[in-house]
């Protein structure tokens, strides 16, 4: 749920994002599983700026 909130924040600023589990595969998704939030490599600096504004 928290990963989805971060994804929504980035997408709300116009930056495409995707969430994937940090370990395992989609079958392991759950509330307590750590996730990674991916953004396009060429736009990492935009994600940094968005997070800095917080």
- Sorted by where each begins, the domain ranges of the chain are 2-53
Predicted confidence (pLDDT) per residue in 1-54, tens digit:
888 999 999 999 999 999 988 877 667 667 777 889 999 999 999 999 999 998
Residue of 35, 26, 27, 45 lying closest to 3 (CA atoms): 35
User: What pLDDT is attached to residue 28?
Assistant: 66
User: What pLDDT is attached to residue 31?
Assistant: 73
Beta bridge partners of 20: 36
Element (H, E) at 38: strand 35-38
């Amino acid at each position: 749920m928290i990963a989805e909130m971060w994804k929504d924040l980035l997408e709300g600023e116009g930056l495409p994002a995707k969430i994937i589990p940090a370990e395992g595969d989609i079958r392991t998704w759950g509330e307590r599983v750590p996730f990674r939030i991916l953004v396009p490599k060429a736009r990492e600096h935009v994600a940094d700026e968005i997070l800095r504004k917080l």
